[in-house]
Amino acid sequence: MQSSYTLCVQILAWLLVGLFLGCFVALSARREIQHLRSIGHTYGENHFASTWWAIFVCCLICAAFFSFVAVHTETFEDQVIVGLLVIGGLWFAIVDLDTHVIPFHAVVKFSAATCALFAVIIGNDTHMLQQVCVGAITMWVLLFLVRVLSRGDMGGGDVSLGASLGLYLGWSSSTAAYVALIASFMAGGGVALTLLLLRKADRDTRFPFGPCLIVGSMFAVLR
């Protein structure tokens, strides 16, 4: 009984945290999008972040993910790591969806926060440290190759963000990076096919890959 009660309290706590952080992410992403548009550094003209229901959607997503994490992770440290991935991933997804840009300065800050968190949690665990580094390098190398082979169709921001996500993937498992890439391209292909069937796009239409990369990475970590 005590165990069930504790779990319920923990889920409720993370649910409330998720609602608060979802609101924060939506408003922060909106400010970044406004800044990018004010300096003319955008390639897309979606306006999800400016809609009245954007905050509601972000709160719902964060609350759902945080509740899921509370149930399916064993330690508080794991919950914090996955929580940072969810918050950062959602922020980048919103910004990329509306502007087709992944700001490099934001990737640097996200990477720095991630490295600081892992430095505290991993400590002197050499094996885990190596695994985290391998995950980041694997994602960067493979996405860089895709960028070269696609002749620039994949943006440099996707490659940089992929390296940051690779830190989490390496922490998750030695195969998570490959699972994430496969899931990301499957998600991207599904989106492209759907848009083509609905006649909302043609073969020359470009859409942001960042959200697909984030979805694939979250799937690989939480599976």
pLDDT (tens digit per residue) in 31-68: 999 999 999 888 877 888 988 889 999 999 999 998 88
* pLDDT at res. 81: 94
* pLDDT at res. 46: 84
* pLDDT at res. 160: 96
Domain boundary residue, one of 75, 100, 125: 100
* pLDDT at res. 2: 43
Question: Is 168:217 a contact under the CB 8 Å cutoff?
Answer: yes
- Within 100-149, where are the H helices? 104-122, 126-149
Residue 3 and residue 76 in one domain: yes
Low-confidence ranges of the chain (pLDDT < 70): 1-3
Provide the number of structural domains found in the chain. Answer: 2
Residue 4 and residue 111 in one domain: no
Residue 34 and residue 106 in one domain: no
Residue 182 and residue 166 in one domain: yes
pTM of the model: 0.93
Residue 186 and residue 128 in one domain: yes
Residue 127 and residue 196 in one domain: yes
Question: Is 169:132 a contact under the CB 8 Å cutoff?
Answer: no
* pLDDT at res. 74: 77
* pLDDT at res. 92: 97
Residue 128 and residue 91 in one domain: no
φ, ψ dihedrals at 208, nearest 5°: -65, 135
Residue 41 and residue 121 in one domain: no
* pLDDT at res. 1: 41
Domain boundary residue, one of 77, 100, 123: 100
Size (the chain), residues? 223
Domain boundary residue, one of 100, 135, 170: 100
Determine the structural domain holding residue 47 and report its residue range: 1-100
What one-letter code names the amino acid at 161?
L
> Up-side HSE of residue 192: CA atoms within 13 Å toward CB?
15
Residue 16 and residue 112 in one domain: no
CA-nearest of 170, 51, 155, 173 to 104 is: 155
